[in-house]
Amino acid sequence: MVVGSTMYGWCFGHRHDRVRGYPGCSSTVTLWRPGSRARLRLVFRPGPDRIIADHYFDEGTVVRLPDREYLNLHAPGSVRALLDEALARELFPAAGSVEVDGWPLFDAVTPQDPPDRP
Checking if the pLDDT of 39 tops 80, the result is yes
- Which SS3 state, helix, strand or coil, does residue 4 take? coil
Quickly list DSSP for 16-70. E-TTTT-SSEEEEEEEE-TT---EEEEEE--BTTEEE-SSSSPTTEEEETTTTEE
Checking if the pLDDT of 105 tops 90, the result is yes
Band the pLDDT of 116: cuts 50, 70, 90. Answer: low
In-domain check, residue 115: no
The pLDDT of 96-117, averaged and rounded, is: 87
In-domain check, residue 42: yes
**Which residue type, as a one-letter code, is found at position 63?**
V
In-domain check, residue 89: yes
- pTM comes to 0.86
Domain encompassing residue 69: 2-109
The pLDDT of 21-36, averaged and rounded, is: 86
Which among 30, 37, 29, 33 is positioned nearest to 4, based on CA atoms? Answer: 33
What's the domain count of the chain? 1
